Structure 1
Amino acid sequence: MFSTASTNFVEEVDHGGSLIPVSSLNDTIALLTVVVKRKRFWIWQRPKYLPTDFTLNDILTGDTPVKPGVIETDFIKYNGTYCDNIQGTLGTNFVQSNVSLGGKDSSKLQSSFGSLKKEEVDVQKLLRDSKDRVLDMSHGLVRQTKEKHKQAFGIVKERIVTTQPCSVIEDVQQGGQCGGGLSFCGSKSPKVSLKENATLSKDSNITMEIPIQTTIAYALIELEIQHDGRYELCLMSDTTGGFEVDGPTRRELMGVSGAPAYASEKTCLGEDLEQLSHHFQLLSSLPTPIRSSLLQRIPQVMEDRGAVNLLQNVLDRMCEEKRPPLCDLTTTESQKQNIQAVLDLVEQSGQVELAKDGQSTSVLTALHLIASAMDEMTSDCLALLAMCCSRTVVQALELLVQCMSKNKELPLNSAGLAALIEDDYEKTRSLFACFNVSLRRDGDTLRTEINQQPGNLPLVLCIVVRGLASLACCS
């Protein structure tokens, strides 16, 4: 709940910037707090940030603390309300019976953070104070972080804090209706007649009071650490920190489980997708009932940004042979059911594996790939994509992804593109724009153009569309 509110805040005020949303009220984040930056399962994923209980001064040698100046400024006054409404009905009629089902979910998250202020360290003074200072390489936090690969230290250089007591309010309403009539008839007249109508509902209203001086978001400056404990501050946004390693290092193209590093050129994007093709091939080879169920459930998870994050986290843990119980997940009951249904389908097909070019993948890894890409998306991107998840539209989107990755044009009369005519075309154009891709009509031709922006959004779009299209394929 708080995590969703802080994430929404960062998306609104600093989308694509340096601010990191605070994920837990239990995290104490002050200026100079040490945060561990952990690279994720797939190279193109955004890193995970783990605040620690230590500050920079706690892990320095010597008795003289670093005391950079602090600059305080008014930031903004923020109040946000986010609503989701989902409604559906299903009716079935037989010769002498009928059944109707209906469901409705609505949720509203209201974040009233009020007036916020920004606290920043004086980086120039921090740079001077850090000169000739040395980290205690025997400190438990330093030693344990260094032992694990793909981790780096950052220190909090800026934070956004509340200046007054404020609140986050979540209002969830869930309801369902079931109605039916059933008649058993003899040769002349009905002998038994049953009629039943039932309504189920579940409402919750949770208010979280947030005290003054609570950190909502923060920004880091990373440390490049040498063997002897000397360190440098990474002052440029494109410079990352880490621990000095023995011997020459080279950048690996492949990630932990075969994910390619992102490149902005279309030719490289096509090569990256080709290296992931065995994941999509495995999904398309699943039995039709499993593929159909996954294609139904995954878009339902997309309707809630928090549910996407939870699904990714559960699959992440399952890849490490750990699985948190769903009862610990804070989301609506319907989304728990959707997540559980996806996990059940993973377990049903979990023994299916595919080997290609010396690489092996499983259904768990393939779905973790899709969920991790979804987790990189904003709420707006997810909402747009969820509206484009019918079987015919997904297959048409795959044609556009192929066009984008291979630097080709696509005739409008191409087989399979009929689903993108008129209203669906505008949805698709807006969807691609969310991922820094322009979709243009030029006469009878469709063209795609990747806008050169930092990040991995074009690749993320391609992965999710290819994954959904693999589930939508006819076999």
Structure 2
Amino acid sequence: MFATATKNFVEEVDKDGVLIPVSSLNDSIKILSLVIKRRRYWFWQKPKYLATDFCFNDILKGQPILPVLTETDFIKYNGRFSDNMQGNIEANLHPEAVNLSVEGKDSSKLRSAFGSLKKEELDLQKLLRDSKDRVLDMSHSLIQQTKEKRREVFGVVKERIETTQPSSVIEEVQQTGALGGLLSLCGPKALKVSFKENANLAKDSNVTMELPPHTTIAYGLSELEVKPNGHYELCLMSGTHGGFEVDGSSEEQLVGAIDGHKNTANSNWLKEELDKLGSHFQLLSGLKASTRSSLFQYFCSVLKEREAVSLLESVLNQMRHGERPPLDSGQADSQTQTVQALLEVLVLSGEEKSVETEDFSCTLLALHLVISALDEMSDDCRAVLGSCCTPQVLKSLDLLVQCVTEAGEMSLSSGDLAPLTGDTYQRTELLFASCGVSLKRDGELLRTEVSRQQTDPTLILCIVVKGLAAISHSVQCHL
């Protein structure tokens, strides 16, 4: 909830800027603090920032640098955010004997009362002068451990936004629902879970966080370009990146399954990238019908939970590398329970031999692709997608994605686009527009136009739609 509040704050005051939201109250972010920037597997994923317990002087040889700071009033900030969703999903599959009905209403309210905020900035000119001919202690454990990981670089905190008075974050959540039917989760071992008919579920929570003065809610970094001999340079210009120099090259190419990221979006570029990912979508559509049905229900359930999506992305990433997810099935946290339920669908727990198979690794990578794309979507975009998340509508959205990549046109009167009427069409139009795609209607003719200013959001939308459409293939659901 604190992470959601700080992310909302950054999106409101510095969208696409340099500020990074603080993700945990446990992170101690001060000027000259060292933060590790971790680049991700897929090139379109935003990097993760990991706070450390060290400051720049801890890894610097010789006398410590004494920073010169300036403080200015920033803004007074109080935000209110609300979300309301309701739906009814029924799934019936034969001959797999999977029957599931879920209906529920969710409402959430988040109030961030940060009050008057202050900006603290480092005098970079003085830092540059003090850094002349200085070297880092390359034997320091933090440097050694970070250098071993190809995607991690150091960043030095150069500015931060902090509270000046006691403030609060308040979250109210109300969830009601009914669950019934028999669900068969099929994997290497047959696992059947039986739900009582007309079982009622309810959750009502009201949580308040009281934050003390001088709580950092956002910060900015200067990355470090580190030479093998310990000399370093601060990256001052936007678009310049730090790293550890290897064989005379200070910037390693981002490792990932997709190469050749371009700065301008067009249909040819989108088609090329989606073609590279085609095997992942085919694998998902080829899973057992009962497994796809279960996966689809869980994907629908996490669409509105940012924390659950982020946690699931992290867990699947660890699983791909053969690591055990750090989950305790006995915990009551709703996000943890949601992720644990998905892992049970895949029969991960106690199936060491299955996890090590090549087919299972491919399945994990395909699921990681889709959930990573969901993790990059904005909350508003995921909320709109959630209102369109039925197999029938997703099939139509998948055809629209094909129309986008081929720069073509389609007739709304065709049976394939029949679900896109009334409110559903308006939501579809909003969904695509939020990701850089305009739907232009001329009578019954529909054309698509891709924005050249938004590259990654368009690709992310296409990945999510094609992934969910593959999972929901032949699943019978009604919303």
Identity in percent: 52
1:323 paired to 2:299: no
Given that 1:85 and 1:107 are in contact with CA atoms closer than 8 Å, whether structure 2 keeps it comes out as no
Sort the Cα spacing of 1:390 and 1:65 in 2 relative to 1 into closer, same or farther, 3 A.
Answer: same
Given that 1:176 and 1:199 are in contact with CA atoms closer than 8 Å, whether structure 2 keeps it comes out as yes
SS at match of 1:217: strand
SS at match of 2:282: helix
Sort the Cα spacing of 1:326 and 1:395 in 2 relative to 1 into closer, same or farther, 3 A.
Answer: farther
Mean Cα displacement is larger for which, 156-165 or 400-409?
400-409
Given that 1:57 and 1:66 are in contact with CA atoms closer than 8 Å, whether structure 2 keeps it comes out as no
Following superposition, the deviation at residue 282 of structure 1 comes to: 0.4
Structure 2, gaps ≥5 residues long: 91-100, 181-196, 349-353
Aligned-partner residue type, residue 296 of structure 2:
L
| Corresponding residue of 1:397 | 397
Q: Residue by residue, what CA displacement relative to the aligned partner does 1:170-191 show, whole Å, maximum 9, x if unpaired?
A: 2333445699xxxxxxxxxxxx
SS at match of 1:420: coil
| Corresponding residue of 1:300 | 301
Sort the Cα spacing of 1:206 and 1:373 in 2 relative to 1 into closer, same or farther, 3 A.
Answer: same
Give the RMSD, CA atoms, in angstroms: 3.2
Following superposition, the deviation at residue 251 of structure 1 comes to: 6.8
Aligned-partner residue type, residue 392 of structure 1:
Q
Counterparts of 1:461 and 1:403, CA distance in 2: 13
Sort the Cα spacing of 1:102 and 1:52 in 2 relative to 1 into closer, same or farther, 3 A.
Answer: closer
1:453 paired to 2:459: no
Greater Rg, structure 1 or structure 2?
Answer: 1
Following superposition, the deviation at residue 63 of structure 1 comes to: 0.9
1:115 paired to 2:126: no
Q: Residue by residue, what CA displacement relative to the aligned partner does 1:357-395 show, whole Å, maximum 9, x if unpaired?
A: xxx952211111111110011110110111111112111
Q: Residue by residue, what CA displacement relative to the aligned partner does 1:194-242 show, whole Å, maximum 9, x if unpaired?
A: xx99866443332221111000111111111112222222122111111
Following superposition, the deviation at residue 271 of structure 1 comes to: 1.2
SS at match of 1:172: strand
Mean Cα displacement is larger for which, 462-471 or 429-438?
429-438
Sort the Cα spacing of 1:32 and 1:399 in 2 relative to 1 into closer, same or farther, 3 A.
Answer: same
| Corresponding residue of 1:416 | 416
Mean Cα displacement is larger for which, 242-251 or 196-205?
196-205
Following superposition, the deviation at residue 54 of structure 1 comes to: 1.5
Counterparts of 1:8 and 1:61, CA distance in 2: 39
Given that 2:242 and 2:251 are in contact with CA atoms closer than 8 Å, whether structure 1 keeps it comes out as no
Greater RCO structure (CA 8 Å; 6+ sep): 2
Following superposition, the deviation at residue 470 of structure 1 comes to: 0.7
| Corresponding residue of 2:235 | 234
| Corresponding residue of 1:93 | none
Following superposition, the deviation at residue 444 of structure 1 comes to: 4.2
Aligned-partner residue type, residue 270 of structure 2:
L
Given that 1:307 and 1:331 are in contact with CA atoms closer than 8 Å, whether structure 2 keeps it comes out as no
Given that 1:282 and 1:353 are in contact with CA atoms closer than 8 Å, whether structure 2 keeps it comes out as no
Counterparts of 1:154 and 1:46, CA distance in 2: 15
| Corresponding residue of 2:5 | 5
Q: How does 1:243-392 map to 2 (within 5 A)?
A: 243-246=244-247, 255-256=255-256, 258-260=257-259, 262-263=261-262, 264-266=264-266, 267-321=268-322, 322-327=324-329, 331-332=333-334, 336-347=336-347, 362-392=362-392
Counterparts of 1:12 and 1:36, CA distance in 2: 25
Counterparts of 2:361 and 2:225, CA distance in 1: 35
Counterparts of 1:411 and 1:352, CA distance in 2: 44
Given that 1:88 and 1:104 are in contact with CA atoms closer than 8 Å, whether structure 2 keeps it comes out as no
Structure 1, gaps ≥5 residues long: 91-99, 180-195, 355-359
Following superposition, the deviation at residue 420 of structure 1 comes to: 1.8
Aligned-partner residue type, residue 233 of structure 1:
L
| Corresponding residue of 1:32 | 32
SS at match of 2:312: helix
Sort the Cα spacing of 1:59 and 1:164 in 2 relative to 1 into closer, same or farther, 3 A.
Answer: same
1:208 paired to 2:209: yes
Aligned-partner residue type, residue 468 of structure 1:
L
Given that 2:225 and 2:250 are in contact with CA atoms closer than 8 Å, whether structure 1 keeps it comes out as no
Sort the Cα spacing of 1:384 and 1:329 in 2 relative to 1 into closer, same or farther, 3 A.
Answer: farther
Given that 1:66 and 1:130 are in contact with CA atoms closer than 8 Å, whether structure 2 keeps it comes out as no
Counterparts of 2:332 and 2:23, CA distance in 1: 13
Q: How does 1:106-185 map to 2 (within 5 A)?
A: 106-175=107-176
Counterparts of 1:412 and 1:178, CA distance in 2: 35
Q: Residue by residue, what CA displacement relative to the aligned partner does 1:264-289 show, whole Å, maximum 9, x if unpaired?
A: 34322211111111110100001112
Aligned-partner residue type, residue 118 of structure 1:
K
Counterparts of 2:217 and 2:228, CA distance in 1: 34
Counterparts of 2:85 and 2:201, CA distance in 1: 17
Q: Residue by residue, what CA displacement relative to the aligned partner does 1:132-174 show, whole Å, maximum 9, x if unpaired?
A: 3222222221222112211111111111101111112223334
Q: Residue by residue, what CA displacement relative to the aligned partner does 1:104-145 show, whole Å, maximum 9, x if unpaired?
A: 444333222111111122233333332332222222212221
Aligned-partner residue type, residue 244 of structure 1:
E
Counterparts of 1:140 and 1:178, CA distance in 2: 51
SS at match of 1:219: strand
SS at match of 2:346: helix
Mean Cα displacement is larger for which, 383-392 or 261-270?
261-270
Counterparts of 1:393 and 1:207, CA distance in 2: 38
Counterparts of 1:330 and 1:38, CA distance in 2: 30
TM-score, with structure 1 as normaliser: 0.84
Counterparts of 1:449 and 1:403, CA distance in 2: 10
Mean Cα displacement is larger for which, 434-443 or 24-33?
434-443
Counterparts of 1:236 and 1:63, CA distance in 2: 27
Given that 1:78 and 1:115 are in contact with CA atoms closer than 8 Å, whether structure 2 keeps it comes out as no
| Corresponding residue of 1:469 | 469
Counterparts of 1:425 and 1:81, CA distance in 2: 25
Counterparts of 1:379 and 1:425, CA distance in 2: 20
Counterparts of 1:42 and 1:328, CA distance in 2: 32
Following superposition, the deviation at residue 408 of structure 1 comes to: 2.6
Aligned-partner residue type, residue 325 of structure 2:
R
